[in-house]
Structure 1
Amino acid sequence: MKKQSTTRGMAILSIAGIVVKLLSLLYVPLLISIIDTNGFGVYTNTYAVFTWVYAMTNIGMQPAIAKLVAELDESGNPRDALKAFKISRTLLFIVGTVATILLMVFAKPISVATKNPRAVLSLITLAPTIAVTSVLVAYRGYFQGKNIIAPIGVSQVIEQFANVIISLTFAYALMKVSLEAGVAGGTIGTSAGAFISIIYMIYIYNSKKLFKIPKGAQTAERRYSSKYLVKKVIKYGMPITLSAGLQNFGTVIDATNVRTRLSFAGFSADNIDKLAGYLGQYQNLAYVPLVFIVAITTIVLPDISRAVINKNKETIKEKIGFAFKLGFIITIPSAVGLAVLSESIYKLLYFRDTYGFRLMIYGSFIMVLMGVVQLQTTILQSLNKFYIVIYTLLAGLAVKILLNYALIANPDINIYGAIIGGYVGYLITFLLNSIILRKTIRKKIRYFSLFIGPAIASSLMGLVVFFVNKYTLLILGGTSPSRMIYGIATFLSILMGVLVYGYGLILIGIITKAEVQNMSPRLYNKIPNFVKSRMR
């Protein structure tokens, strides 16, 4: 199967990520219409616990496998790359099965500890996902390391599509039993979707002998023992897993801290569930643009790992600069767009209860810091700086916890304390990572120069989006726009925003001809000549 270039591979994963997130955005308001905002508060906190357990067992292993496979491939040893994948698949299945059993057994005490006693049943129904996705992660890690990207994207879409259909069906059916049962029903599709995705990945793996090692491909004389490869997987996997676990542990802290401190501030149980639901709505929307960052990290990690093996310092610096450039190009306009269109988006998705749009106005720019930190973490891991990343994430998380604890208990700040804690926590991690990365590559990364171009284009875009949205609502909807009018206004605003932002990047010189042609020659050919003439 053909390997993809860096930009094309990122484009494939980005498109898949957009489809997955769009399905998720459609899913959440439908789920809320079934289980209500209170039920969604229970659902959100349940997923916070599940995601942390998933991160501690699975998330870190995909990049670890990808890094090891890329290194073995680059050193002329594809046979041991395949062997490493098979060993990892077995280890992950064992660990995932144990984690599934433990999560089911301790579902009740975990729910009590996180101040979410109604989550017991949903934690039990989510638990099998850990074992199922353990195998899925191994396949995706191998494909990623081989730089065969398309099947990863397709598998993500298949997984999410099945998840949405099955979860909504069971949530609707089980809501007739109780709220707890309805919330649990909304999680059943997670395991089912992952299982269907595995079937697809196994089919691709086995079809046409795509991963059979051809004669002459094995150029390295040395072969590694199973013991060595196990140690290598653990060496790479353990720190990356801990890093992923720490990043997701912040969500668990939010889930627990929010409930505990809101209770301290005097809010009732129903209001606590509702505010937790608002935070979940905000996070679900704010994290959408980060699918692009995930796409970048998926491509960059094996690329930099190969450059490290070859001791190619120029390639390493080039890949790092390219990654941060793309990161800012994506996250800055996304943050501006979400802030400007926050009310319209909430009226479109959550027409009945749109209080949460205020969280988006203040919190959308966290994604810029989150995106940069995620890129820094992946780059440092690619450079074999595994454990230092854990300390920087831990420092940011500690500050976030303290601020959440102090601020959320203030009735005037309440849920907004989680937003403030997020900003400060990620800023500290960003500053620490910046120092370490500069010392590692012996080159200062000029974040401001990478930031300023997209920021200028985004400011222009934000003004256009604001007025297009405002006057579309006024002309079509008058003083009381319907949900459909909000949808039309949002769509037109986003379309104009994309056009203005893209043209702004071209005028400033951020996007070049070579980059567009490398990503998609067809796309370049469709660009109007007057635009091409302004491209560098």
Structure 2
Amino acid sequence: MSEQKNSNLVRNASVLMIASIVSRVIGLLYRRPLGEILGSVGLGYYGFASNLYSILLLISSYSIPMATSKIISEKLAQKRYKSAEKIFKASMIYAVVVGGVTALFCWFFGSFLLPVTQQNALPALRALAPTIFLSAILGVLRGYFQAHRTMTPTSISQILEQIMNAAVSILAAWLLIRAMAPGGGHNAAVYGAMGGTIGTGAGVLVGLLFMGFVYYVNRNYFRKRVARDKAPDKETYQDIVKMLVIMITPIIFTSFIYNCSAYLDSYLYAAIQGWHGIKDTLVTASYGEYSNYYVPLVGIPLALASASTSAMMPEVSGKYAINRIDEANEQVNQTLRLSMFICIPAMVGLTVLAYPIMGVLFPSASTLAARLLLTGSVFVVTDSFSIITGGVLQAIGKQNTALINAGISLLVNLASLAAMLVALPGLDIYAVMLSNIVFSVVCCVLNIYSMHKYLGTRHEIRKTYVEPLIASVFMGAIAWIIYYLIFMITRRPFIGLLIAVLAAVLVYLILYVIISKIKEDELRKFPMGSKLVRFLQLIRIFK
């Protein structure tokens, strides 16, 4: 039974990881043409609007899939199908009301939330108001299917959403600039940023239509299952809504703290640098490079951590609800191993190949973006760990603990950012990057302590961290040598980068197997593990 459950976790994590990689890569690739259309100032307006949108989305949407998945998965584990369906309907009502109110607030009061020096981002922010409402409904549907331990609908909807987002963002930005600011200049940056955010709404709409279609196709199955449930149904909608509010509120605040740091950092950064007398356009341009080039790149491996957490939560919640603590801990450790197996080599690869990666993907970017990636790639590991450990605490019902830990981390983050910018204004946007690393490190430490206290979790340090790190260090050195040798011969950075990345993947996999002495059966538990085993057998690493 345990092996079957582990297989289910790995399968779901694999599906979400693949979808997350595809979605993030699409999101990364369209930044290049979008950046060339908007320019650095337009990207800055786009970044400020997107950060504030993310905060408002936390209230209406981000917490809903996690909360819905947790509550419904507990009812399904107890075979209380009537209650599960009631919770789904109550969650939808909650999403419509809260999403609608938040969208209206964004439209009418968004100007009060933007920094005084960044009011030109307001048109882009208002274009995102309808997206907030649609995202809330989409979040309920995704959480409902995740609670049923099927991640495929969510994964497909994420890919469709990102494809539409990329296409419409580029097209809308180009059309609005051509129609409203054909001569370029300041207005081109404002309308271009607005066009970019219109694409976000188009993507969410497509994702919602797909998830609605999936639910419609499966509606008879859900109805029949509810009809077979003969258990007494004592819960009223009022009770369920109250439970949702109690459950969702701490998750909202925790998610808010995790994600609002970007908004608060941008606000504080703009305010303090303005106080130092630095021009608004320079501040906007620097933040544009940070938020649109550095953040999306480190976000690709971080998406894998989020995918692992989404797949893990219903598994851990279900086991914890029926008091299978050892099995819950087993799932937690397996999730951490899966994430570190990918995130640690990603951190090393982004560090050693920072300049060619930025040069190939974003040729219009300045060297600032590459320097940020070179010095800030460690954020991949620290933040992925904080995401997973925070998800564990929420899965076992310790939302308030996760909230307190995140709150303490945020205070340390903001204090360190303010201190760095006031004392050393020359750090500029690097201070924002460093303060985010501080946030994730503090959160990791606090969450580890809490997990040990409430769940008795003991981390497998050698398997989870040491072995992939040793393999990654050697991988990074080899990748760096290969890239610069090929670049010296061909003078084509794309060819050198492609070969270096492919070689890095191969070298890391071989070194990891040799260093860890992992068995075939263990490796099969990793995402796409069977394919990895067959490949290693082909090259005689596994006999």
Shorter-normalised TM range: over 0.9
Equivalent residue for 1:507?
514
State yes or no: 1:324 paired with 2:336. yes
Corresponding residue to 1:235 among 230, 243, 246: 246
Which residue of 7, 19, 22 corresponds with 2:25? 22
| Counterpart-to-counterpart distance in 1, 2:434 and 2:289 | 16
Aligned to 1:83: 86
Q: Are the structure 2 counterparts of residues 148 and 391 from structure 1 closer, same or farther at C-alpha, using a change threshold of 3 Å?
A: same
Structure 1 residue 185 corresponds to structure 2 residue 195: yes
In the alignment, does 2:203 pair up with 1:203? Answer: no
Residue 266 of structure 1 deviates from its aligned partner by 3.5
Q: CA deviation at 1:221?
A: 4.5
Q: Partners of 1:448 and 1:406 in 2: how far apart? A: 36
- 1:357 and 1:421 map into 2 onto residues whose CA distance is 18
Query: Deviation digits for residues 14-46 of structure 1, max 9, x if unmatched?
Result: 111111111111111111100101110111111
Shift, 1:377, TM fit: 0.5
**How many residues are treated as equivalent by the alignment?**
525
Cα distance, 1:66 vs structure 2: 0.2
Q: After superposition, where does 1:145-294 map in structure 2 within 5 Å?
A: 145-176=147-178, 177=180, 178=187, 179-208=189-218, 209-214=220-225, 218=229, 220-280=231-291, 281-294=293-306
**Between 341-350 and 170-179, the greater mean CA deviation after superposition:** 170-179
Report the Cα distance in structure 1 between the residues aligned to 2:330 and 2:341, rounded to whole angstroms: 17
Match of 2:488 among 469, 474, 481: 474
Q: CA deviation at 1:219?
A: 6.6
Corresponding residue of 1:526? 534
What SS does the aligned partner of 2:192 have?
A: helix
| Distance apart, 1:524 and its partner CA | 5.1
What is the aligned partner in structure 2 of residue 481 from structure 1? none
Change (3 A) 1:324 1:185: same
Shift of 1:514: 2.5
- % of aligned pairs identical? 24
> What SS does structure 1 have at the residue aligned with 2:256?
helix
Larger deviation, residues 199-208 vs 128-137 = 199-208
1:144 pairs with one of 128, 135, 146: 146
Structure 2 gap segments, 5+ residues each = 181-186
Tell me which residue corresponds to 1:126. Answer: 128
CA distance, structure 1, for counterparts of residue 51 and residue 224 of structure 2 = 41
Preserved contact between residue 76 and residue 217 of structure 1 (Cα < 8 Å): no
What displacement does 1:222 show? 5.0
Q: Distance in 2 between matches of 1:416 and 1:425?
A: 14
| 1:532 to partner: Cα distance | 6.8
Deviation at 1:301, TM superposition (A): 0.3
Per-residue deviation, residues 204-230 of structure 1 (Å, max 9, x unmatched): 111153433338863745553222221
Secondary structure in 1 aligned to 2:224? coil
Q: Equivalent of 1:404, from 387, 411, 417? A: 417
The one-character-per-residue Cα deviations of 1:411-467 (angstroms, maximum 9, x if unpaired) are: 332211112212222211211111111111234334465210110011011011101
SS at match of 1:289: helix
| Contact kept? 1:17, 1:292, Cα under 8 Å | yes
CA distance in 1, matches of 2:531, 2:224: 34
Q: CA deviation at 1:370?
A: 0.4
Q: Aligned partners of 1:161 and 1:154: how far apart in 2? A: 11
1:380 correspondence with 2:393: yes
Aligned amino acid, residue 410 of structure 2: L
Bigger share in helix = 2
- Matches of 1:212 and 1:496, distance apart in 2: 51
Q: Aligned partners of 1:452, 1:500: CA distance in 2, in Å?
A: 17
1:455-496 per-residue CA deviation (whole Å, 9 max, x = no partner) reads: 00110110111011111111110xxxxxxx222222211111
Structure-2 change in CA distance of 1:216 and 1:198 (3 Å): closer
Q: Deviations over 1:356-404 (max 9, x none)?
A: 1001111010121100010110000111111111111111111111111
Which deviates the most, 210-219 or 384-393?
Answer: 210-219
- Partner letter of residue 6 of structure 1? L
Report matched runs for 1:291-306 at 5 Å. Answer: 291-306=303-318
Alignment deviations for residues 40-79 of structure 1 (CA, whole Å, 9 cap, x no partner): 0111111111101101221111110000110000001122
Over 6 Å off, 4+ runs:
none
- The structure-2 alpha-carbon separation of the partners of 1:91 and 1:118, relative to structure 1 and needing over 3 Å to count, comes to same
Give per-residue Cα distances to partners, 1:96-125, cap 9 Å, x unaligned: 011001110012222245x31111111110
Query: Does structure 2 retain, via aligned residues, the 8 Å contact 1:304–1:319?
Result: yes
1:7 positional shift:
0.9
- Separation in 1 of the partners of 2:365 and 2:229? 60
TM-score (norm 1): 0.94
Out of 437, 440, 464, the residue aligned to residue 450 of structure 1 is 464
Q: 348-357 or 332-341: which moved more?
A: 348-357
User: TM-score, structure 2 length as denominator?
Assistant: 0.92
**Cα distance between partner residues in 2 of 1:443 and 1:156:** 32
The answer on 1:68 being equivalent to 2:56 is no
Q: Does residue 367 in structure 1 map to residue 387 in structure 2?
A: no
Q: Distance in 2 between matches of 1:328 and 1:510?
A: 17
Of the structure 1 ranges 262-271 and 284-293, higher mean CA displacement relative to structure 2 is found in 262-271
Which residue in 1 is equivalent to 2:183?
none
SS of structure 2 residue aligned to 1:267: coil
* Secondary structure, counterpart of 1:147 in structure 2: coil
Counterpart pick for 1:315 among 327, 335, 342: 327
Q: CA deviation at 1:510?
A: 6.7
In structure 1, stretches of 5+ residues that fail to align are 478-484
